[in-house]
Amino acid sequence: MNKVTSLCVLAVLFCLTIIPADVNCGVIRKPYEDGSRNISDDIQFHLYTNRNPFRSYILLPGNEDNLADSPFKPERSTVFYIHGFTEGLDAKSCQTIKNDWAKLAALPWYPEAVKNTVVVGSYLGQLLKWLEYKQAISLPDIHIIGFSLGAHVAAFAGEELARNRSEKIGRITGLDPAGPAWDKFSIISNGLDKEDANFVDIIHTNTKTFGIKLRIGHADFYVNYGKSQPGCSLVSVGCSHSRAWQYYSESILDPFGFPSSKCESWNPTLTNCTKDPDVFMGFAINNKTIGIFFVETKSKTPYAENIISYTKIYSPKSSQKHGHRNRISAEEVLLKENNDKLYPEIVKLHPGSLLVSNFNASNVILKEDINCSENNSCLDCQSNKIERDVSFYLHTRENPSIPYILEFKNEANLFKSPLNPYNQTIIVIHGFGESSLQLESNFSRTIRDVYLKRDDYNVILVDWGALAAMPNYLTAVRNIKTVAAYVAQMIEWLVNQNALAMPKIHIIGFSLGAHVAAFAAKNLEPQKVGRITGLDPAGPFFEHTTASERLDKSDAIFVDIIHTNSKIPGIKSPIGHVDFYPNQGMEQPGCSFPDILCSHQRAWYYYAESVLNERGFPASKCQEWKPNINTCTKTPDAFMGFIANSQIGGIFSLRTNSKSPFARNMTDYPAIQ
């Protein structure tokens, strides 16, 4: 039997052994048509918009009431994300729908998952048809992003939509589309190719093992030759494969970060390639781009080349100058090219064109009345309107629910306040998308209430909601240092008025608020506040930075950290004198994976409970951070939360209950006066 015949027989046997009767090889049929199982049991569509960036809304195909009640906006572009083999679902002015088919892509049967791509793609196509019929979407505005097997799911969705019609969806992005069973022949039907959408772009990162080698799109990018990626070892088999989505996600915030070279043809060395100044891999690619492209990246994050796009607006002539620069800081963007003796009043950083790790503009001062905003970014701006955007709400047992607004450098206001200089002061700083007063955010109010229930404290809620508002996380990150500087000025003034004592100040920050606390403390050096508690400090743009650019144990006499969702929004690294990792520090019991905010918020739930149950969270000391709590040793006098022991430093693990009360030790409640 010759080689060709052998391949054909193998393909047929593959069909016969893994394809059930209701799915034919090479033919898309209506899934689950025999009625033995409901397709909706195995596939879900999670909708995210700027109204609900963390908590998904489940779309139910065919349910008009469900669609009407959703945050879905027909006038916005729609992005569909489809995960790959073995995955589940761990979003400016667009909306993201994540197609969760984890039950049909589960280990260990890759062939079964391959077969299920037909079913899932067909079902997704039917959802798109229904949304189009309800005038909720327009096909040219749809962008489907598929990773690994998910890229082929996107193809079958495209085929389902194109049946008996000429119109196609706008774009499909294939992130290292799966190669096994697709590269040289397909066991079911044709996989993803350029016929499935008006524009198909492909990012190849692991053609050696998991990814497809063939050119299948309008534009195919072979990153670092496409075989394997720098920084990935041979042992970590999924590393190079996953780099495809890591590169793409980075390109959303840095659209000019991956410049490309166009190649005459594909070969293992990608020779005969010429730099193309107009082609950038990822988010911002021009949909007229055609060809094979070579891209080079760094071996660790940030992977991009970090090209900055900017526009300078000059006065009095109001002339503009545009430009690109490689690997320079924001400060350099502001200070260079001023030979015409006209200094810029405004520097517009094009949305997402600058990585936060490059922000370094502490010495730059523009016009005094220019505020930080998404479009006119002045970075660390010295605005005289900071008093309008940041408020300090004082609560004591005299006024537990009605706040007394402290005014900076207003001695009469301070004299009339209920602040008691002999009591300990708790300063509470909220995170991204929150406010101290809004009803939806009960972090600040909960911490206030438990402290005042325990004893008479000065509880100061720092409200920087105007500068931490959704949907732009990047803008909130930019505003941290400005807010922190003002918080530090307020603390310093109160100390100078003998209203506060530095060692008796305890700052509690949640998420981004933990880093606001850090920079406030850094501004107070060489003096140090008594304690900073970081409640799941934000990870994005802080995880791999130096101690000077995030919360660190050097920022206070005692720094304790509670990590509850280091998998996504929280920081993973131990950064305090004491770091607690409840339930391995990742997903918390009782929280489902799509709802990433649930695990993130558990940090302050646990801490609030510990204020009234100080010995409720006993912990075990670990030699180093590991996901296995069994490697840790029970430690007397080590408790997470309110009475965290500054004399017992290190890394600690513990377990909690899946619902309130979360503490496992419920026997020791302090007396409440």
Q: Would you state the structure tokens that stand for residue 417, as one six-digit string?
A: 């306040």
Give the Cα separation of 277 and 393 in Å (integer).
Answer: 52
Query: Is the omega angle on the peptide bond into residue 53 within 30 degrees of 0, that is, cis?
Result: no
Question: In this structure, what DSSP letter does residue 339 have?
Answer: T
> CB count, 10 Å around CB of 540?
16
Query: Is the omega angle on the peptide bond into residue 537 within 30 degrees of 0, that is, cis?
Result: no
Question: What are φ and ψ of residue 301, in 5° steps?
Answer: -70, 140
Distance of CA 353 to the CA centre of its chain: 17
CA 113-118-121 angle, to 5 degrees, is 105
Sequence-separated (6 or more) residues with CB below 8 Å from residue 297:
223, 224, 229, 230, 247, 258, 303, 304, 305
C-alpha pair distances (Å), 101 with each of 60, 87, 190: 14, 8, 20
Sequence-separated (6 or more) residues with CB below 8 Å from residue 672:
453, 454, 612
Q: Would you state the structure tokens that stand for residue 96, as one six-digit string?
A: 């993201």
Give the Cα separation of 358 and 120 in Å (integer).
Answer: 41
User: CA dihedral in degrees (258, 259, 264, 266; nearest 10)?
Assistant: -10
Q: Can you spell out the DSSP letters for 607-647?
A: HHHHHHSTTS-EEEEESS--S-GGGSEEEEEEESSTT--TT
Give me the active site residues, please.
148, 176, 241
- 458, 419 Cβ separation under 8 angstroms: yes
Sequence-separated (6 or more) residues with CB below 8 Å from residue 437:
393, 403, 463, 465
- 635, 627 Cβ separation under 8 angstroms: no
Distance of CA 133 to the CA centre of its chain: 33
